[in-house]
Amino acid sequence: MKRWSIQQLLGGLVLLILLSACSARTSTSSTQASGKLQVVATHSILGDLVKNVAGDAVDLHVLVGPDGDAHTYEPPPADLITLSKTDLLFENGLGFEAWLDKLYTSSGSKAERVVVTRNIEPLHFAAGDEAGELDPHVWHDVSNAISMVEIIRDALVKADPSNAETYRANAELYLGQLRDLDVWVREQVQAIPEDHRKLVTNHDTFGYFAHAYGFKVIGSAFGATTEGETSAAQIAALVQQIKDAGVPTIFAENIANTDLLNQVAQEAGVKVGPPLYTDALGQPGTDGDTYVRLIRYNVGVFAEALK
């Protein structure tokens, strides 16, 4: 994570001073003012899971929005205000939001923090500088999203029992959709020959997908995150891996610059497939504007490009 600039810190202090002044004039909490639970989700995919369970019963704010990269996110001062008013904070965990602890502390927030991956057996990155570190990209395995939704449901019921039946009913409906989605993914994968199920992307995001659905991750341009330097030797090694594996297509992402990936593709003599939705939803109206649509789109791209 990059350090906050002096301008950001000063802006945050001004906003906090204004917030304190407002608080001094009223004893009404944000929840009491709107009549709804104030909820924050750290990134857009998680926000969509929360939205499907909470519906209109909460005021939901997402910190890293569509097409946003949580790996490189620099929280603006306004996020301090948002967290200071929050009742319930949903986070991915597993090191995905490296900036969150500092933001939470600086905001003075009293929100309950809910790590939605706590019941998931984490995988570790197998290669590169991040080898051995926990892989946070759990949502690409739909069964993990099911586990996350169950935690979201239980946290909302506990925090807002007056709307418990709404949360339970919404969750049950959505969980049914996710179970059907998982079955659909497995059916689509069966149409891809086993020796074609090989993935190369901008960054190492598909470990859980590969583990769940029978793919092999050959490599990535940037490793575990979407930033950092990639040496000529690393590029040459990736190009050789692609050639050795006989990969016909490598894949760009909606959150990452594709220049390096295009260079790798050119040197390896392979195609670059349509951009995938990986660490964030797409903008409203795109093929990846919800979690379910994101998964269906990505799997459809794989099926078409790799069959």
Which tokens is 127 given? Answer: 């290669």
Whether the CB-CB separation of 51 and 60 falls below 8 Å is answered with yes
Q: Per-residue pLDDT tens, the chain, 307 aa: give them.
A: 344 454 555 455 545 444 443 343 333 344 556 789 999 999 999 999 999 999 999 999 999 999 999 999 999 999 999 999 999 999 999 999 999 999 999 999 999 999 999 999 999 987 666 677 999 999 999 999 999 999 999 999 999 999 999 999 999 999 999 999 999 999 999 999 999 999 988 778 999 999 999 999 987 765 555 555 567 887 888 888 888 888 888 888 887 667 877 888 888 888 888 899 999 999 999 999 999 999 999 999 999 999 8
By CB atoms closer than 10 A (0-12, 13-18, 19+), residue 282 is buried
Write out the E strands in 56-175. Answer: 58-64, 88-91, 112-115
Residues whose CB falls within 8 Å of the CB of residue 281, separated by 6 or more in sequence, listed in order:
44, 45, 47, 48, 66, 67, 288, 289, 290, 291, 294
Strands 88-91 and 58-64: unpaired
Rounded alpha-carbon distances, angstroms, from residue 234 to 41, 104, 127, 207, 230: 35, 36, 12, 20, 6
pLDDT the model gives residue 33: 62
Rounded alpha-carbon distances, angstroms, from residue 303 to 79, 118, 183, 299, 307: 39, 31, 15, 6, 6
The domain defined by 192-306 folds into: Rossmann fold (3.40.50)
SS3 226: coil
Beta bridge mates, 250: 272
pLDDT the model gives residue 8: 52
Domain ranges of the chain: 6-182, 192-306
Fill in the amino acid letter for 194.
E
By CB atoms closer than 10 A (0-12, 13-18, 19+), residue 241 is middle
- Calculate the CA 141 to chain-centre distance: 12
Longest dimension (CA), the chain: 68
192-306 and 6-182 share a CATH fold: yes
Residues whose CB falls within 8 Å of the CB of residue 31, separated by 6 or more in sequence, listed in order:
37, 38, 87
pTM of the model: 0.85
CATH no. for 6-182: 3.40.50.1980
